[in-house]
Amino acid sequence: MAINPLASASTRRDFLKSAGTASALALTIGFEWGGTTRRALAGATPLTDRSFMPNAFVRVGSDDSVTVIAKHLEMGQGSYTGIATVLAEELDADWTRVRVESAPADAKRYANLAFGTMQGTGGSSAMANSWTQLREAGGKARAMLLAAAAKEWKVSVADLSAEKGVVYHAASKRQASYGALVATATGLPVPEAVKLKDPKDFKLIGQHVPRVDAAAKSDGSAQFTLDVVLPGMLVALLKRPPLFGATVKSFNASAATAVPGVVKVVQVPRGVAVVAKSFWAAKQGRDALQVEWDDSMAEKRGSVALMDEYRHLADQPALSARKDGDALRAIKAATRKVSASYEFPYLAHAPMEPLDAVVKLSADSCEIWAGDQFQTIDQANAAHTAGLDPQQVSIHTLYAGGSFGRRANPGSDYIVEAVSIAKAYGADGTPIKLQWTREDDIHGGLYRPMYFHKLEAGLNDKGELTGWHHVIVGQSIMAGTPFAAMIKDGVDPTSVEGAANIAYTIPNVSVELATTKTGVPVLWWRVVGSSHTAYAVEAFMDEVAHAAGQDGFTFRRKLLDQHPRMQAVLELAAEKAGWGTPLPPGKGRGIAVAEAFKSYVAQVAEVSVGKDGQITVDRVVCAVDCGTAINPDIIAAQMEGGIGFGLGAVLYGAITLKDGRIEQDNFNGYRVLRINEMPKVEVHIVPSAEPPTGVGEPGVAPLGPAVANAIFAATGKRIHVLPFSSSGVA
């Protein structure tokens, strides 16, 4: 079963062009949507006569409230706070009066500028693509409010100042709050251009601005999709096939419909849904439902067989993703050769909120409530499923209880399921909430792909690295999706990012890719390609440094002479971690560095080895350069979270198949990090005046190899098969 590409009816109307550059690591997808999708949704953000909305991103109320419209999903990464901070900074707003509201699905106004003309969140791009746009939006709103004061007081704008939502005229000692100026400002022209602040004048950017969602997320009042309640709403659970690619042969709904509270049982393309008055009734109904599956087209292989095939493919000719000089020849001529292979399993995202969506479908409209990450794609896929035009689909984006990439899927799986159930139910306007269980999530596919990496390197008699040959084997995330336009000469950039753009100065480099096909649907998972390439590159670089008889930090530092920002984070992490200072026996220190989504992160991990050989990660020192630090505390939080997320994955994370069946069901089989396993984390941010880049994902990249390298330092053991638990050290 492949990821469902965008519906053909939509792709006929819409076309796709790639705006990505070869060097871009972020998901710089260019979508050019034709015709109907360009229309704005009417009435999505009603403008009353008591508020001033100079642009799509801010509304100032006559009560002095400032509402910032967030085009990005808040899934924990702090986007709402960051977005509001940037806009409020240039607006000189009173932070205590700032609130955030999610934008409607409207690619015309709310496109992610890093994605071209598509609205969506991903690739750690929220702040980077919003930076100038929101500063200008805030600055223009401020200019109009000042112009309103100048008009009312008949003074020059040049003599006015603004601070915390109040305009001042020093000479006449007059002042007016923004709210008092709303009526006058509304009638004024929007300035074409506006002068942005000198960073030295920032009052919010760079400060510890508290999260706008912290209080609501500490008293149970934050609204997730799970919490949506609408009059007459029903709850649906979907029984999906146990094997990927299987379909419904037949079903018997009599036992399910006999469950009190079950309203209807309907067949949809992805399985058979039980629609009921409550979750509990739907769950019992689904348990009682009998379905016979047609497995004839299903994936029936197991993980072991797949990895065997990948291992074999690594020795076959593959497609080139990077070629400098002649790596194979250099390695052949080398004084010292090093080689290793690394195996990475499928990984589930397992966000805490199991996937869910509420759909209210009628003959001419489809209203969706979801922690929606790809509004434009979800709108198109929902429309196709419902038989509507995209502009008839509206989306209320709610807080998402985590995602880690799972809700950003080109086939909109959970949205399409919910719409198809509402359609099969009768499309009569009854709101239906599709709720996944944890088992549905673990079994549900769209995993981080399984990969096999083979690396070889050559050192000359001076211990210098002369050749680097890296072969990657695994599935493409973009193949068969609208993102396939990003695939260049058969190379999916998400399969090789972090490897093809290896930053070290090596005279001969070859990176190759063998793309495999399986029936297991795959997807980007936090930090995407670097979730495996950073491990392969950085764990292997440690093996190479060791073979050269050099310290891992010193060896890397020299090879990063062409990459000052990467070199600087490496140095900062090493310095703060006390690299080179002695550790007691049974402890080890490891270092790794990575670039991901144009941010640079280095980490030093310290581990202890217990008497039983089990390892504990005691401490991680992290240095990050993400350009201008908009909110240092949120940056630190994302590094801490990335470290914990990455550590759980390298220690325990694995989705495995046996005869096509997923062997894990819930958090017992799919183990994730718990509080007792969380290391002490220290985060150091490199001061920078560069434009901001992302922090949601990059912190994950160097964690695995830093820990693996520390384990080697402590035990002399290299880990080539992930997770570590399968190698007997966790």
Partner 1 sequence: MSTSFDLNGKPTTLDADPKMPLLWAVREVAGLTGTKFGCGMALCGACTVHLDGKPIRSCITPLSTVAGRKVTTIEGLASRPAKAVQAAWVKLQVPQCGYCQSGQIMSATALLETNSKPTDADIDSAMSGNICRCATYSRIRAAIHAAADSIKV
Nearer residue to partner 1 within complex by CB, 619 or 718: 619
Residues 618-637 that bind partner 1 (CB under 8 A): 633-634, 637
> How far from chain centre, in Å, is Cα 457?
32
**Contact present, 141 and 134 (Cβ < 8 Å):** no
Least spacing, CB of residue 496 vs partner 1, in Å: 27
Residues of this chain, 205-264, that bind partner 1 according to CB under 8 A: 210-211, 213-224, 226-227, 229, 235, 260
Establish if 372 lies at the interface with partner 1 (CB under 8 A).
no
DSSP 721: B
Tokens representing 538? 């950085």
Q: Which is nearer to partner 1, 76 or 521 (CB)?
A: 76
Interface region with partner 1, contact rule CB under 8 A, candidates 272-280, 287-295, 326-334, 338-346: 272-280
In terms of Cα–Cα distance, which of 489, 488, 492 is closest to 523?
492
Phi then psi dihedrals of residue 396, to 5 deg: -100, 110
Report the residue number, 235 or 386, with the smaller CB distance to partner 1. 235
Nearer to partner 1 (CB atom), residue 61 or residue 402: 402
Distances (CA, A) of 50 to 47, 59, 149, 190, 529: 8, 10, 17, 18, 48
Residue 399 makes contact with partner 1 by CB under 8 A? yes
Q: How far is the CB of 716 from partner 1 (least distance, A)?
A: 29
Shortest distance (Å) from residue 641 CB to partner 1: 5
**402 part of the interface to partner 1, by CB under 8 A:** yes
Among 266, 382, 681, 701, binds partner 1 (CB under 8 A): 681
458 belongs to the binding site for partner 1 (CB under 8 A)? no
Q: For residue 209, what are its two tokens?
A: 């601005």
Task: Tell me if the bond preceding 585 is cis, omega within 30° of 0.
Answer: no
With respect to partner 1, which residue has the nearer C-beta, 458 or 644?
644
Considering only residues 637 through 666, tell me which ones interact with partner 1, judged by CB under 8 A: 637, 640-645, 647-648, 666
Q: How far apart are CA 65 and CA 96, in angstroms?
A: 9
- Rounded to an integer, what distance in angstroms lies between the CA atom of residue 92 and that of residue 448? 43
Closer to partner 1 by Cβ: residue 467 or 648: 648
Q: Which is nearer to partner 1, 176 or 350 (CB)?
A: 350
- In angstroms, give the least distance from the CB of 643 to partner 1: 7
How far is residue 103 from each of residues 141, 217, 406, measured CA to CA in Å? 18, 20, 20
Structure tokens of 709?
């390298």
Q: Is the dihedral of CA 269, 272, 276, 278 positive or negative?
A: negative
- Residues linked to residue 175 through DSSP beta bridges, in sequence order: 168
101 bridge partner residues = 69
DSSP labels, 506-548: -SEEEEEEEEE--SS-B---TTTTHHHHHHHHHHHHHHHHHHT
Provide, rounded to whole angstroms, the least separation between the CB of residue 413 and partner 1: 19
d(CA 246, CA 295): 5
Kindly provide the b/e burial profile for residues 77-88, where b requires at least 16 CB atoms within 10 angstroms of the residue's own CB.
Answer: bbbbbbbbbbbb
Least Å distance, CB 416 to partner 1, is 22
Nearer to partner 1, 234 or 388 (CB): 234
Q: How far is the CB of 583 from partner 1 (least distance, A)?
A: 21
**Residues in 74-113 at the binding interface with partner 1, rule: CB under 8 A:** 75-78
CB of 401 to partner 1, least distance (A): 3
- Pick between residue 26 and residue 400 the one whose CB is nearest to partner 1: 400
Question: Using H for helix, E for strand and C for coil, what is the string for 204-244?
Answer: CCCCCCCCCCCCCCCCCCCCEHHHCCCCCCEEEEEECCCCC
404-443 positions binding partner 1, by CB under 8 A: 404, 435, 437-439
CB of 69 to partner 1, least distance (A): 21
Shortest separation between residue 605's beta carbon and partner 1, angstroms = 15
Site residues (CB under 8 A) for partner 1, limited to 306-345: none
When asked if residue 576 is in the footprint of partner 1 (CB under 8 A), the reply is no
- Stretch of residues binding partner 1 (CB under 8 A), selected from 13-21, 63-71, 397-405, 415-423: 397-405
CA dist 166 and 177 (Å) reads 4
CB of 417 to partner 1, least distance (A): 18
Angle between helical axes of 178-186 and 126-153 (0-180°, round to 10)? 80
Judged by CB under 8 A, which of 161, 278, 316, 335 binds partner 1? 278
Binding of residue 678 to partner 1 (CB under 8 A):
yes
Evaluate whether 433 touches 357 at the Cβ level (below 8 Å).
yes
In the complex, which residues of this chain contact partner 1 (CB under 8 A)? 75-78, 210-211, 213-224, 226-227, 229, 235, 260, 278-280, 350-354, 399-404, 435, 437-439, 633-634, 637, 640-645, 647-648, 666-668, 672-676, 678, 680-681
